[in-house]
A and B are shown apart, each in its own frame.
Chain A
Amino acid sequence: MTALQIIFLFIAAITLASAVMVVSARRMMHAALWLVLALAGVAVIFAMLDAGFFAIVQVLVYIGAISILIIFAIMLTRKAMEDVGPQLNRGWWLAALAVVGVFAGLAVVIVSWPGVMATAGVGPDADAIVNFGKDLVDPDKYVMPFEVASVMLLAALIGAIYVSVEHKGGQP
């Protein structure tokens, strides 16, 4: 095993363990913090794949924006401190079944993929970002999803303004 593989196994173990803790922690705040750790683990894995841009974006968007938003939501929630009820309901075995099924399906797909044991890196990423940026605005490639995503964000912005604006004359 190379040093990179050892680090990968270590990071993957941390990521998975904290992902489990996200759903099993009793305090919602702690769950959010475990989520931050899990997302940071994903960022490290991106960095190990020579995808520095995605590692940084992972930190920027998920840790910087989404986690802080989640923490904000939790801080404004009642009974955020302690949850004393049971953590499982009667349907837990259904969820477990679905999870095992999805995991088995993914495992089969990934193992049957020929490149699964290859250890080659992505290659020198000297111009990876430039290519990425050009592909995003290339009419032959991904300009359509890119623009649709921005329209969706605009719709979300307008929606947020509509929801938060004070409507004169009672009900909106």
Chain B
Amino acid sequence: MSFWTDPMAVIANLIGGWLAGLGMTEGWVTFVLSFLGAGVYALLVMLTVVLLIWVERKLLGRFQDRLGPNRLGPWGIFQTIADMLKIFTKEYITPNGVDKVPYNLAPILAVAGVLSVWAVIPLGATILGANLNVGVLYVVAIGAIGELGIILAGWSSRNKFATLGGFRAVALLVSYEVPLVVSLIIPVLFSGSMGMNNIVHAQKDIWYIVLAPVAALIFLITSIAENGRAPFDLTEADSEIVAGFNVEYSGLKFGMYYVADFMHTFTIAFLFSTLWLGGWLGPWAEKYPMLGIFYTAFKAWFIYFTIIWLRGSLPRFRIDQMINLNWKVLTPLALVLLMMTAIVNRLVPEGMLVVRTLALLAVNGILLVGTSWLLNKFAGRNKRVVVAPEPRPVARPEQISSES
């Protein structure tokens, strides 16, 4: 076992041996190692976000025909560090009448909910936090903590707009969780396990995006919605409800929501790469786990770029469109897809990879065409509602004179 084949085990052995030399019992050594590992891991993810914010701003700038950050350092790469220092030094403003404990707890929960997902994402064959046997469920369950952070922020700010934003956000998050969970069942169905690393191992023959492209698409759409970014950014629609649930937050507390948002995008990209694109699988990845990090990250960056691309290209959904898309399109589609995939997967024997792939692709294709046909058929049924403001009494000279 050398450093290049299994770096985490080598480092763990090194530190563990040193701690044991100090006279610690085995249980405590495990505890300290897990603690250190979790701390370093979380810190690395948080530091990556500093780079990510620059990447996202730069890419968005290019999509919108701007330069993006370009002053500080080469290509403006240090801009985020300056922003970070600024936000550290800003004043915390706590409005009158807020509910103190939930108000301060909410940003922490928002970040914790995203950061905890990283515990189950395998970066390499042996580089992973924990191969929980309920990994997929864990991802969904931890997402609920982020929701709690948003609902608490909306309520405890004691501000009408924040509460409205909180309601919108939770309506979005809770409803999009349904197709998200259904689409997550499909990799579990194929691999026969809920452990993330087992799902990656099971994709050795073929990536699941080939077997279930529609489910992968549903996963991507609902994940972007869970993240609450464009085209689903109506939770912080600045033109309608000022800025949503986080309107009363300032300084680093606002910064934490910001970080949670960017980190969530990155997390989605890694989840997508793990569940659908074969995670760390690639040439020689099993022999050299460090290569696995490269493969996972490469696939994840591709998805990350796609998400930013969507953000830069699509206009925002209205709230009724958002709810309709979820309950009338994505949820039925995901449910039908799950049933069809389960049946076909069962009918075609495991060994016949080509036949199985073609059959599943055919099912996906039929469903896509069917959905599109149904949507087109019923598209003209709902008349477009023309939204116009109510006529309001305005103090104009002619109106005042007509009163008399």
Contacts and interface: CB of A to CB of B under 8 A. Distances in A.
A11 interface: no
Contacts of B138: 56
A59 interface: yes
Interface stretch (B11-19, B145-153, B269-277): B145-153
A68 B148 contact: yes
Contacts of A71: 148, 151, 155
A27 B156 CA distance: 12
Nearest to A71: B151
Given A59-B144, A68-B170, A75-B155, 6 more contacts: A33-B102, A53-B134, A56-B138, A68-B151, A72-B170, A125-B133
B84 interface: no
Majority secondary structure of chain B interface residues (helix, strand, loop or mixed)? helix
B169 to A, nearest CB: 11
Contacts of B144: 59-60, 63-65, 68
B38 to A, nearest CB: 15
Contacts of B134: 52-53, 56, 129
Interface residues of B, number: 26
Contacts of A60: 137, 140-141, 144
Contacts, number: 66
Nearest to A52: B134
B196 to A, nearest CB: 13
- 8 closest A-B pairs by CB: A64-B144, A60-B141, A59-B141, A56-B137, A56-B134, A56-B141, A53-B134, A56-B138
A154 interface: no
A36 interface: yes
A113 to B, nearest CB: 29
B147 A64 contact: yes
Interface of B: 27, 99, 101-102, 132-134, 137-138, 140-145, 147-148, 151-152, 155-156, 163, 167, 170, 174, 194
B174 A68 contact: yes
8 contacts: A33-B101, A53-B134, A56-B141, A63-B145, A63-B148, A64-B141, A71-B148, A129-B134
Contacts of B143: 64
Which residue, B141, B145, B152, B174, has most C-beta atoms of chain A within 10 A? B141
A52 B133 contact: yes
Nearest to A76: B167
Nearest to B130: A52
Contacts of A56: 132, 134, 137-138, 141
Majority SS of interface residues in chain A? helix
A29 B102 contact: yes
A36 B102 contact: no
A152 interface: no
B151 A129 contact: no
Contact of B27 (A3, A36, A59, A125): A3
A3 B25 CA distance: 12
A151 interface: no
A57 B137 CA distance: 8
Instruction: Please indicate which of the listed interface residues A53, A64, A67, A129 has the most CB atoms of chain B within 10 Å of its own CB.
Output: A64
Contacts of B132: 52, 56
Nearest to A69: B174
A127 to B, nearest CB: 9
Contacts of B194: 129
A129 B137 CA distance: 12
Contacts of B145: 59, 63-64
Contacts of B141: 56-57, 59-60, 63-64
Contacts of B102: 29, 33
Nearest to B171: A72
A71 B148 CA distance: 9
Interface in A102-141: 125-126, 128-129
A59 B144 CA distance: 8
A29 B155 contact: yes
Interface string A1-26: 00100000000000000000000000
Contacts of B151: 68, 71-72, 75
Nearest to A43: B141
A27 B167 CA distance: 20
A147 B133 CA distance: 25
Contacts of B101: 30, 33
Nearest to A33: B102
A64 B144 CA distance: 5
Contact of B148 (A36, A57, A129): A36
A71 B149 CA distance: 12
A60 B138 CA distance: 8
